[in-house]
Amino acid sequence: MSAALPPDEITDALRATGARDDAAIDLAETALLLAALDRPAGALGPYREHLAALARDVGAAVPPGAARNVARQARALAEVIAGRHRYAGDTLTYDDPQNANLMRVIDRRKGLPVALAILYIQAARAQGWKATGINFPGHFLIRLEGGGARVILDPFNGGVERDVSDLRDLLKQMAGLDAELQPGHYEPIGNRDTLIRLLNNVRLRARSAGDDGRVAELLDRMLLVAPDELGLLREAGACHARLGNLRRAGEALESFIARTADVAGRREAEALLRRVRSRLN
């Protein structure tokens, strides 16, 4: 069995990922690296092998000549990942942080919508299929497309296909009875934003629990893969300042101030940076 990677090597690999163009990011591999930060003794080899096995099984489930048929692609993904490998949404312990850790999701065969979606997207892309998450609020869905056809799948619910009526009902459950479908809800989201949504699930729960240390840790992880996200820089600066991590707070605030076009936000960050510097001196 391969050895676990040292934390410094994981961090370096994630920082290198953050410097890549979005399309060049290996979604599942990056999710595994993020998961490994919370499982320092866990070797990545078996998880990489499992992802490769999922991809092989999905490819083998598509009859010859049907690889370009998007509906058949969707069925293969659901039959293999939800059916043969028994992945499902965790409806009983939804808020368990393990549900956003891809290593634990693979161990337990259950997780959050975005974590399960990463498995579907990885297996689809391994076949050369066009798969992406979409900007649907509150519940992560994926879209397959090709040959002028599109199919939206719900990985949390067994990879079931979702039509417009399903999406409308789901949106009202997530956002309230007055919510209506908008064109933007069908728009694809990138690899980087998918990873941010994965980590954000854990961050929001840590914030609700008042665990600023964990929040700061997760913000720094987000910034490894999304170093240009100004909102994350600003929040990281404020969070580290509250914790007394003054040098890290200063770095984040300086970076935010140098890049932002938000005049009011810059002034607030400059005021906080002055307080941070006064405590450093």
- Calculate the average pLDDT of the chain: 94
Strand arrangement, sheet containing 130-134: 160-161, 149-154, 142-146, 130-134, 188-189
- CATH class held by domain 192-280: mainly alpha
pLDDT in tens, 76-121: 999 999 999 999 999 999 999 999 999 999 999 999 999 999 999 9
Instruction: Read off the pLDDT band of 63 (50, 70, 90).
Output: confident
Model confidence at 1: pLDDT above 60: no
β-strand 88-89 against 142-146: which pairing, if any? unpaired
The dihedral region occupied by 142, where left means phi > 0, alpha psi between -120 and 50, and beta the remainder, is beta
* Per-residue confidence (pLDDT) for residue 82, from 0 to 100: 98
Give the separation between CA 213 and CA 207, rounded to whole angstroms.
9
On whether the CB atoms of residues 272 and 241 are closer than 8 A, the answer is yes
The b-or-e profile of 28-42 (16+ CB within 10 A means b, else e) is bbbbbbbbbbbbeeb
Which DSSP helix (H) or strand (E) runs through 273? helix 263-280
Indicate if the alpha-carbon torsion angle 267, 269, 271, 274 is positive or negative.
Answer: negative
236-to-197, 205, 207 alpha-carbon distances in Å: 16, 16, 13
On whether the CB atoms of residues 245 and 238 are closer than 8 A, the answer is no
Give the separation between CA 215 and CA 204, rounded to whole angstroms.
8
pLDDT in tens, 200-254: 999 999 999 999 999 999 999 999 999 999 999 999 999 999 999 999 999 999 9
Q: Where are the domains of the chain?
A: 7-190, 192-280
Model confidence at 34: pLDDT above 50: yes
Give the separation between CA 197 and CA 237, rounded to whole angstroms.
20
The pTM (predicted TM-score) of the whole model is: 0.94
Look-up of token digits 């040292």 = 6
Give me the phi and psi of 132, to 5 degrees please.
-155, 155
